[in-house]
A = this chain, B = another copy of it.
Amino acid sequence: MNFSHWRRGTASEARSQGKRTQQAILARALKIAAREGLAALTIGRLARELEMSKSGLFAHFHSKEALELATVEKAKELFQNAVLRPAQASAEGVERLWILCDLWLLHIERRVFSGAYFFSGALFEYADRPGPVSKAIKNAAQEWLKALREAVGDAQEQKQLRRVRRAEQIASELNGRLLGAYCAYLLEDGASFREVRDALLGRVGELATNVIPVSAFESPACWRKYLEKRP
């Protein structure tokens, strides 16, 4: 008898079982870190919560650092899927810029992460530290800022936004407004998300040229109407 086919079957089953376990570990790791920070993520705690042995966990992640890195990558993937990728489908310029801001706010409202740690808290916590975890966190934050900056740059290129300041500075301002709104939300000392969106779109309108009618920036509903009716 030839068992080679059957043996291949079990090997691939074992691999996919291993992958499922790894995904389950990462999902739990992400839940802990998003709420309490990467430092709260210990092999011991994960083993307890997942009812696994520590050695079983170590078989998947050979070190605390490897686990942290995989968790950051998972968080990055979630953020890309919630914010960056959907925005890539839109037209370059102000349209994409607004979708980026809108989806960023939406990922908070919809609690894509179970806490406020990724990537704001993580960045402030890790920015001044050496090592690959800090690098991965900065990389995620840079990817986001780059998307904003390119959208602003494209909008300036297309003469939709005035060149009052460099694209980096405008991107940094808009990123800051989003962070400020998040802070105020966490402290219950700010505006509703509706007010935040109105103010943010209004600000984009202040920076805009007359290529787009002023009325388009009055509210997100006006903006949607403008996009629909646009030739």
Interface residues of A (CB under 8 A from B): 35-37, 39-40, 114-117, 120-125, 127-129, 138, 141-142, 145-146, 149, 165-166, 168-169, 172-184, 186-187, 189-191, 195, 199
Closest beta carbon of chain B to A86's beta carbon, Å: 23
- Please, how many angstroms separate the alpha-carbon atoms of A41 and B138 in the complex? 23
- Please, how many angstroms separate the alpha-carbon atoms of A35 and B39 in the complex? 13
Q: List 13 A-B contacts (CB under 8 A).
A: A35-B128, A37-B37, A115-B129, A145-B183, A168-B184, A168-B190, A172-B184, A172-B189, A172-B190, A174-B180, A175-B180, A175-B184, A179-B183
Closest beta carbon of chain B to A168's beta carbon, Å: 6
Q: Which residues of chain B come closer than 8 Å to A125, judged between CB atoms?
A: 36-37, 115-117, 121, 125
Determine whether the beta carbon of A173 is less than 8 Å from that of B199: yes
Q: Which residues of chain B come closer than 8 Å to A114, judged between CB atoms?
A: 128
Q: Per a CB cutoff under 8 Å, which of B129, B176, B186, B195 touches A183?
A: B176
Determine whether the beta carbon of B190 is less than 8 Å from that of A183: no
- Please, how many angstroms separate the alpha-carbon atoms of A174 and B203 in the complex? 13
Q: Per a CB cutoff under 8 Å, which of B37, B145, B166, B190 touches A187?
A: B145
Given A117-B125, A124-B121; A190-B177 close (CB under 8 Å): no
Determine whether the beta carbon of B186 is less than 8 Å from that of A124: yes
Determine whether the beta carbon of A165 is less than 8 Å from that of B40: no
Determine whether the beta carbon of A183 is less than 8 Å from that of B191: no
Q: Which residues of chain B come closer than 8 Å to A120, judged between CB atoms?
A: 120-121, 124
Closest beta carbon of chain B to A12's beta carbon, Å: 40
Q: Which residues of chain B come closer than 8 Å to A123, judged between CB atoms?
A: 116, 121, 183, 186-187
Closest beta carbon of chain B to A110's beta carbon, Å: 15
Q: Per a CB cutoff under 8 Å, which of B116, B129, B138 touches A124?
A: B116
